[in-house]
């Protein structure tokens, strides 16, 4: 039996441990593992190779993905998907593990229906915005990198009377900003999920500054597009030197944390078992509560992720 693994969309830390776990598991179970390089682009271009133990030696501690990823426009075209299918046929592959976000899941679902390919999607995006799962691979590593950066910014902030506006990734989802605010003791948290009120915040912060607060840390989710606005608000209303820090792509890299390595191993082991056991499956493996469950692909792509209300409540005081 042949199974292939591929990535699509933005990379996240934990993909490499997943790839290593995939190859090790396959050989243990007498399955032939294949790599599809460069995401859907590589699928179309036939960039497919049998994977060996050597390919995955010493990759556990690497961020990113050794089989690379891509964003593909060509995959929207039927002709390209047809070529992709023929490429898989050449290697006798009809089962695929896909490390990606829900956009890519949707794209691959169409392909799998057209050409009868089984697949299990492993949620892997630092945005943590996939319906049905509490956790997407790479989020813990991202958060620890953000933590590290915020710790360093605190050091330098404490040296000046100053405000810092730090923008985190996450597209439309405020998860990274929310958790980062809590664990760094930020004073302000601006995320798409909560309507903020600068008037009450202003009053509260002015009082704290009067009482001796040395600096202010605001974490802003990129999805709000409010980074510049918050900066100007500080400068205008507080007369305090304000610096913006766009954390950017360092959030995607980094040595995968213990949690991401462990999740990578569990996602892959269970996903592979599912593909082996069933004739046909088009599902996403989700981490819900503390259980791993399989969710039909349509349920995942047709619903929208929302941050749970308990977490939202935890930062409410940082938004108004």
Which residues bind to its own copies, rule: CB under 8 A? 7, 11, 13, 15, 17, 20, 38, 58, 60-66, 68-70, 134, 140, 143-145, 147-149, 151-161, 164, 179, 182-185, 214, 243-246, 248-250, 252-255, 257-259, 261-262, 265, 289-291, 314
82 vs 10: CA distance, rounded Å? 24
Closer to its own copies by CB, 279 or 308: give it: 308
Task: Count other Cβ atoms within 10 Å, centred on residue 135.
Answer: 17
Compute the least distance from the CB of residue 149 to its own copies, in Å.
5
Closer to its own copies by CB, 25 or 226: give it: 25
Compute the least distance from the CB of residue 194 to its own copies, in Å.
18
Closer to its own copies by CB, 57 or 302: give it: 57
Please identify which of the residues 38, 94, 127, 260 carries the catalytic annotation.
127
Closer to its own copies by CB, 156 or 200: give it: 156
Which residue matches tokens 């990823």?
69
Compute the least distance from the CB of residue 116 to its own copies, in Å.
29
- Whether 127 is a known active-site residue: answer yes
Compute the least distance from the CB of residue 148 to its own copies, in Å.
8
Compute the least distance from the CB of residue 124 to its own copies, in Å.
12
Closer to its own copies by CB, 280 or 288: give it: 288
Write out the catalytic residue numbers. Answer: 127
């Amino acid at each position: 039996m042949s199974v292939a693994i591929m990535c699509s969309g933005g990379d996240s830390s934990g993909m490499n441990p997943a790839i290593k776990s995939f190859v090790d598991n396959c050989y243990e179970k007498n399955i032939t593992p294949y790599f599809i390089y460069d995401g859907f682009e590589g699928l179309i271009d036939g960039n497919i190779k049998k994977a060996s133990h050597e390919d995955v030696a010493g990759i556990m501690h690497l961020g990113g993905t050794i089989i690379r990823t891509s964003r593909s426009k060509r995959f929207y075209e039927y002709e390209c998907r047809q070529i992709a299918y023929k490429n898989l046929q050449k290697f006798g592959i009809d089962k695929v593990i896909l490390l990606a976000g829900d956009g890519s899941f949707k794209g691959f679902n169409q392909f799998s229906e057209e050409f009868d390919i089984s697949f299990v999607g492993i949620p892997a995006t630092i945005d943590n915005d996939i319906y049905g799962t509490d956790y997407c691979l790479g989020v813990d590593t991202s958060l620890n990198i953000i933590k590290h950066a915020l710790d360093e910014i605190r050091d330098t902030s404490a040296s000046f009377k100053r405000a810092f506006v730090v923008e985190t990734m996450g597209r439309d989802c405020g998860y990274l900003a929310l958790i980062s605010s809590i664990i760094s003791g930020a004073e302000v948290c601006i995320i798409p999920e909560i309507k903020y009120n600068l008037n009450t915040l202003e009053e509260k912060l002015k009082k704290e500054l009067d009482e001796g607060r040395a600096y202010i840390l605001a974490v802003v989710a990129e999805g709000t597009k409010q980074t510049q606005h918050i900066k100007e608000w500080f400068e205008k209303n507080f007369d305090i030197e304000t610096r913006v820090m766009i954390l950017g792509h360092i959030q995607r890299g980094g040595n995968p944390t213990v949690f991401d390595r462990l999740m990578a191993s569990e996602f892959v082991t269970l996903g592979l078992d599912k593909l082996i056991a069933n004739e046909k499956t088009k599902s996403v493996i989700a981490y819900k509560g503390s259980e791993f469950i399989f969710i039909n692909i349509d349920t995942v792509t047709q619903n929208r992720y929302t941050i749970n209300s308990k977490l939202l409540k935890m930062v409410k005081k940082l938004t108004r």
